Amino acid sequence: MPEVDEVYFNGEFIGVLSGDDSVWKFNDSLTVPITKVNFPSAPGAVATNTVSIAIDTANRSVLLSNRDVGCRVWGVSIDWVGLKFEAADPVYLLTGLGGNSQGFENSNYIDNVKSSTGLRAKILDHSAVSFRLGCRPGELAAVQDHANSHIDKIKEDSELHGSHEFHLVGHSMGGLDGRMLIRKTENTDIPVKVATMDGQPVYQDLKASSLITHGSPHLGTLLADIGGVLSSGITDLCDLKPATWAIANPTLTSRKGAKVAVIGAAADGNDDQSLSLTEVLGNQVTDVGEANKLYYILYYYDSAEWIVVYRDVFGVPVPGVELSLIGDSQLNPNDTMVTVASALAATGAISQTELDGVNHGTVIEGTAQSTAISIGTSSLGWGDLK
């Protein structure tokens, strides 16, 4: 009889192997119901699955001439066995300026992603500032620091869960960090251990599949220029300047297929050029008067510069600095921190969504969050099995 070797997975028959005499032969994949696979009870734990081979089963019932039943005709040697199953990529949420995770936590973003898509999501924060001083437009030193910090955490998480591809969601500056993270993973191979075979580690390179940005200043924000000496001395603020993103925005496009979708917001929902208490609710700047000041600056002005002026003090010209705001007839709807035009300006974005009546704090809540999840599942591959 020809060689027939039965395969059992955790004691359940799943198919047969076929072979030829004295040669190695690759057998096609056998399907195992996912419910039959033993998975670890927690990340980092171990589960055991047993593959058994019943050798030469076609000859075990052969009637021999001496009236005995069964004979041994074939032997078999197994070189390797692999278990592959489809899984969806996780979603990492990148915090904004200051690295505070409270906005994502308060908005229940993780729970809503899980309940809507079944995907695993995790917030990635970073230090309050990058601890660099000086401002060199276009260098993006702080954004690079944040991206490197996120990559380290994603590597650790990927090795824990055996995954290497992922999706990103960024709030405010976190969206800029996400674009840099995509660039870094595309320019440099970053291997992570995702499995073990025959006692040897299996590595895959990290890959960011998509990014959604909420209220991210892809053209910078005028408020960083108004910071004057402070924004010129602290790298995190320098990296939000319009001059920086005039250089950076065209260059931070994916070369390997990562998709980017952007969401921007206009806080003045009824278009009366004034923010009400309701329109300010949930914003980082909670005082209505102060929030309106920020809104007006972004709405009416396009650029700012600090100029040296001399004032006469008892007949002596004393130098000082004065803020000069420059605007034209173009009005700029905004969320009190970032204009809609800047939030939607990411070069190469496949989707641009503007929301009304939403401020810089609520741009990751409610309608904005539901919109992002819908875009993720419909256009960015969230939930696709791989």
Q: For residue 39, give both structure tokens.
A: 């998975």
β-strands 5-9, 165-171: how paired? Answer: unpaired
Q: Is the pLDDT of residue 86 over 90?
A: no
Mean pLDDT across the stretch 311-330?
Answer: 77
Residue with the larger pLDDT of the pair 234 and 246: 246
Q: Which of 26-35, 119-128, 212-221 has the lowest mean pLDDT?
A: 26-35
Q: Is the pLDDT of residue 232 over 60?
A: no
pLDDT score for 31: 87
Confidence of residue 71 (pLDDT cuts 50, 70, 90): low
Nearest alpha-carbon partner for 182 in 148, 207, 146, 159 = 207
pLDDT score for 18: 76
Mean pLDDT across the stretch 215-229?
Answer: 88
pLDDT score for 218: 98
Q: Is the pLDDT of residue 230 over 60?
A: no
Mean pLDDT across the stretch 152-172?
Answer: 95
Write down the mean pLDDT value for the chain: 88
Q: Give the distance, in angstroms, between the CA of residue 95 and the centroid of all CA atoms in the same chain.
A: 11
Q: For residue 268, give both structure tokens.
A: 């003045």
* Burial class of residue 39 in the structure, from the number of CB atoms within 10 Å of its CB (0-12 exposed, 13-18 middle, 19+ buried): exposed
Q: Which residues pair with 201 in a beta bridge?
A: 196
Confidence of residue 352 (pLDDT cuts 50, 70, 90): very high
Confidence of residue 133 (pLDDT cuts 50, 70, 90): low
Rg value, the chain, Cα = 29
pLDDT score for 62: 67
Mean pLDDT across the stretch 290-317?
Answer: 85
Q: Is the pLDDT of residue 382 over 70?
A: yes
Residue with the larger pLDDT of the pair 27 and 222: 222
Domains of the chain: 1-85 (no CATH), 91-283+334-379 (3.40.50.1820)
Confidence of residue 124 (pLDDT cuts 50, 70, 90): very high
Q: How many CB atoms lie within 10 A of CB 294?
A: 23
Confidence of residue 4 (pLDDT cuts 50, 70, 90): confident
Q: For residue 6, give both structure tokens.
A: 């039965």
Q: Which of 32-46, 107-121, 212-226, 289-303 has the lowest mean pLDDT?
A: 32-46
165-174 pLDDT, tens per residue?
999 999 999 9
Q: How many CB atoms lie within 10 A of CB 354?
A: 15
pLDDT score for 63: 62
What's the whole-model pTM score? 0.82
